[in-house]
Structure 1
């Protein structure tokens, strides 16, 4: 009877881990969506400097599941390239809200991917147990995969802060 309770506890733990992966994946999807929207808003605010950024954001939005990681990595590289190469222009002050949103969204993607991959790692570790495999405690739940992309946030140049700026 104690062994039955232990198996039930392990099955419940696996269920909670899979639920944690699902929640972390939803958070990652929301963070990726926010970053795409922020990149599109920045590109719309200044199409001259960020024309290629909107193409990368649209490609990431419409990428299928197989090309998703590549498209998101391309968007990360496009953000870094466009923001780091146009750092000396005088338009940064006008783009302060868009730049702040891009910076926050890029950092959010990095954090969300870290949490998601941590949840996947914990779930995969729990499923490697001989007991879990022998008694098929994971049921029919698929083994979660890691989400590996280039998510290094861009370095946004420091903006001069005046007395009336927030």
Structure 2
């Protein structure tokens, strides 16, 4: 084997190794994008469940009239806006022109408002003030509030991973992200 053949063989091995590394990086980026979409769907479901249980708890008669009305209004507002995107990064497949009109900001402020209303009404209750027939709904509401916090944390963690990966030299130069939009974190008051 001549020196030229050795050099060519080394270049071929290096090119194959680089191709494998690039392929693995592209797969990881694709999986992370899919994970973000799934975690956003899970967050949407958790937000919807929280609003439904908040509405059910408001109607249970445990809260005073004013607290019940406040909580019902906040929960109904969340349920009525539940089909709107929570962030307007285009990852949901919703028309960007529609989403760019501040709809996502409105949705986040409504969800944050429900969190504040829950703190003002439900969190102020003592355990002996909760009627026995409302205890089940109260426990489901508490679990759904925890679900919102956890799913939002996971979602934002995945978004941060994508952002770090997309800032890497190989991803930027080789355009491994394609035309996929850069996902946004969900910043709401979730207690």
Q: Is the 8 A contact 2:48 2:78 kept in 1?
A: no
CA–CA separation in structure 2 for the residues paired with 1:115 and 1:96? 29
Counterpart residue number, 2:105: 66
Aligned positions, number? 152
Q: Aligned-pair distance for 1:3? A: 1.7
For residues 80-107 of structure 1, give each alpha carbon's deviation from its aligned partner in whole angstroms, at most 9, with x where no partner exists: 1011344387453332111111101101
* Distance in 1 of aligned mates of 2:36 and 2:17: 29
Match of 2:20 in 1: 5
Partner Cα distance (2:182, 2:130) in 1:
47
Query: Which of residues 72, 92, 99 in structure 2 aligns to 1:54?
Result: 72
Structure 2 match to 1:162: none
In structure 2, the residue matched to 1:110 is 149
Residue equivalent to 1:26? 41
Structure 1 or 2, whichever has the larger Rg, is 2
Bigger Cα displacement from structure 2, 109-118 vs 2-11:
2-11
Give 2:8's aligned residue: none
Q: Does 1:80 align with 2:116?
A: no
Alpha-carbon distance between aligned partners in 2 of 1:12 and 1:137, rounded to the nearest angstrom: 9
Which ranges in structure 2 are unaligned for 5 or more consecutive residues?
Answer: 1-15, 82-102
Q: How large is the RMSD of aligned CA atoms in angstroms?
A: 1.7
Structure ranking higher in helix proportion: 2
| Structure 1: 5+ residue stretches without partners | 153-166
Q: TM-score, normalised by structure 2?
A: 0.74
Distance 1:52 1:89, change over 3 A: farther
Give the whole-Å Cα distance in 2 for the aligned partners of 1:88 and 1:19: 41
